């Protein structure tokens, strides 16, 4: 999972790209990068948080009215400086590209590009593969002079990418002397929103981003989404072209609503905040159905992604909502930390239980999901250590049983507790009196109940094992699990 943003404006875009990446920091804390252009490409990248990478000196070098930015959370490729996006190539024109997603057929594509096409791959990142595919096809489609003709050239290149790739990808790209491009895979698995900002002189600035979180502060008006299989081109003169190249079943990732996205985001025309409220409502109904004689004294979220669901769940049960676990805001998101050791180390620094809210009470902990189980186990131990009478654990997400190969860090079945243990065994492992998972139909209903979203069905392969790309068999699954483990170990 990563955050991407592209801006075309009438003035320098560097500071607004920086602000956008701050708003997208929750989508990746491993690294970040910005590329702008005027007469040439200007780039700045680094490992760590956005605020630690960019400063007044290097920001002043990022000149130009068109640019793209990226916050990285690696699901494919290594962890070094060379893997940091955006990537760029000099031929043709000068193309910079940032990508959120994951290519299932990366290995086959990399072999084609290095073998038949004689291209050199400097990293193991699937984004570099995407860049080479797009740039090669763009160069082969002619050398158009007009904006309209160049858009047709772009469409041919993007269609070539669609034809060759399998997996998820939302992409922003900048082409020197041409403008800004955005496109999204035919199933729309990863999000990509767009917005416009009108100036007093009648000109219009454009933004494309993983989320709408920065639109208000930068005064952009939301204009919907880049649709699945659609490509946008904003020329340097400000002309906007768009075309839907492929129509497939629309299957956006459901885990975006459960965990990754900020609650103030409108994603695929669905409010993330409202979807999480509905998750809590549906959990309350199931709790009453399955445990009609059991009522907690307080409901406590495992902050902060679960706060919204916990709030509505407590309301439906008629139980007091309490922030019984204080979250240190300066500790990163444990789910997206690059190793289990870091997750275990950080959780006790991240969360501090409030004894006065917990002692001698029946405590219901609400979590967004249980992936590996270790974080949940430690949270329960902390709450029991503060003197809880009983501990119930409720999760807004159904059991995560399968790896995600579309951009979420659920790389191996051996790391997924629900793939190894029954619900009762998980209850015993994390040490609670009652464990309640959200049911898949209830989660889908919570996401799709409201909004003019046109979602055919969410992608939830991690829950139900149905991979929309259709090419994930046992052999492919083992290949990708091995690849991910090798990436982690630096092989």
CB 28 within 8 A of CB 2: yes
Between CA 297 and CA 50 the distance in angstroms is 41
User: Quick check: helix, strand or coil at residue 185?
Assistant: coil
Question: For residue 112, how many other CB atoms are within 10 A of its CB?
Answer: 16
User: Quick check: helix, strand or coil at residue 267?
Assistant: strand
In terms of Cβ atoms closer than 10 Å to its own Cβ (0-12, 13-18, 19+), residue 328 is exposed
Q: In degrees, to the nearest 5, what angle opens at C-alpha 331 toward C-alphas 482 and 123?
A: 35
**In terms of DSSP H, where are the helices of 395-471?**
417-420, 423-430, 440-448, 461-464
Between CA 471 and CA 476 the distance in angstroms is 8
Residue 473, Ramachandran bin (φ over 0: left; ψ between -120 and 50: alpha; else beta) = beta
- The DSSP bridge pattern shows strands 434-437 and 390-395 to be parallel
Q: What does 442-459 look like in DSSP terms, one character per residue?
A: HHHHHHHSSSS---S--B
User: Quick check: helix, strand or coil at residue 108?
Assistant: helix
Q: What is the CA 166 to chain-centroid distance, rounded? A: 18
Of the CA atoms within 13 Å of residue 152, those in its CB half-sphere come to: 7
Q: DSSP assignment, residue 489?
A: H
Dihedral sign computed on CA atoms, order 350, 354, 360, 363: negative
CB 288 within 8 A of CB 455: no
Between CA 336 and CA 216 the distance in angstroms is 26
Of the CA atoms within 13 Å of residue 161, those in its CB half-sphere come to: 34
Dihedral sign computed on CA atoms, order 98, 103, 107, 113: negative
DSSP-based helix, strand, coil % in the chain, nearest 5: 35, 25, 40
User: Quick check: helix, strand or coil at residue 141?
Assistant: coil
Between CA 117 and CA 128 the distance in angstroms is 14
User: Quick check: helix, strand or coil at residue 290?
Assistant: helix
Question: For residue 116, how many other CB atoms are within 10 A of its CB?
Answer: 8
Between CA 232 and CA 208 the distance in angstroms is 9
User: What positions carry a catalytic annotation?
Assistant: 2
């Amino acid at each position: 999972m990563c955050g991407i943003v592209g801006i075309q404006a009438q003035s320098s875009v560097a500071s607004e790209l920086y602000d956008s990446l701050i708003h997208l920091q929750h989508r990746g804390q491993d690294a970040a990068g910005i590329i702008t252009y005027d007469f040439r490409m200007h780039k700045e990248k680094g490992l760590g948080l956005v605020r630690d990478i960019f400063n007044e000196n290097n920001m002043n070098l990022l000149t130009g009215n068109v640019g793209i930015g990226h916050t990285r959370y690696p699901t494919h490729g290594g962890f070094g400086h060379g893997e940091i996006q955006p990537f760029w190539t000099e031929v043709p024109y000068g193309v910079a590209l940032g990508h959120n997603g994951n290519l299932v057929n990366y290995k086959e594509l990399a072999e084609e590009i290095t073998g038949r096409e004689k291209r050199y791959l400097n990293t193991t990142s699937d984004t570099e593969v995407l860049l080479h595919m797009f740039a090669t096809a763009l160069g082969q489609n002619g050398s158009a002079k007009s904006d309209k003709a160049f858009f047709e050239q772009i469409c041919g290149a993007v269609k070539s990418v669609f034809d060759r790739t399998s997996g998820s990808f939302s992409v922003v790209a900048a082409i020197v002397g041409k403008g800004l491009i955005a496109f999204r895979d035919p199933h729309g698995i990863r999000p990509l929103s767009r917005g416009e900002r009108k100036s007093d002189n009648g000109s219009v600035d454009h933004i494309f981003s993983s989320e709408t979180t920065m639109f208000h502060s930068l005064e952009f008006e939301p204009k919907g989404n880049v649709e699945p299989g659609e490509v946008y081109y904003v020329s340097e003169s400000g002309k906007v072209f768009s075309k839907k190249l492929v129509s497939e079943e629309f299957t956006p990732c459901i885990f975006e609503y459960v965990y990754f996205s900020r609650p103030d985001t409108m994603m695929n025309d669905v409010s993330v905040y409202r979807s999480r409220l509905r998750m809590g409502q549906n959990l309350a109904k199931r709790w009453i159905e399955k445990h009609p004689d059991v009522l907690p004294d307080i409901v406590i979220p495992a902050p902060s992604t679960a706060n919204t669901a916990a709030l509505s769940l407590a309301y439906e049960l008629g139980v007091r909502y309490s922030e019984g676990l204080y979250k240190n805001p300066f500790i990163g998101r444990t789910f997206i930390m690059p190793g289990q050791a870091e997750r275990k180390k950080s959780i006790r620094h991240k969360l501090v239980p409030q004894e006065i809210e917990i002692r001698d009470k029946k405590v219901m902990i609400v979590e967004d999901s249980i992936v590996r189980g270790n974080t949940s186990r430690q949270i329960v131990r902390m709450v029991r250590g503060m003197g809880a009478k009983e501990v119930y654990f409720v999760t807004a997400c159904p059991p995560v049983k399968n790896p995600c190969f579309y951009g979420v860090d659920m790389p191996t079945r051996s790391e997924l507790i629900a793939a190894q243990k029954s619900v009762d065994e998980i209850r015993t492992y994390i040490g609670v009196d009652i464990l309640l998972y959200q049911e898949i139909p209830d989660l889908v209903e919570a996401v799709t109940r409201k909004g003019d979203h046109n979602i055919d069905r969410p992608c939830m392969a991690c829950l139900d094992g149905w991979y929309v790309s259709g090419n994930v068999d046992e052999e492919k699954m083992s290949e990708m699990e091995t690849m991910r483990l090798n990436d982690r170990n630096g092989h």
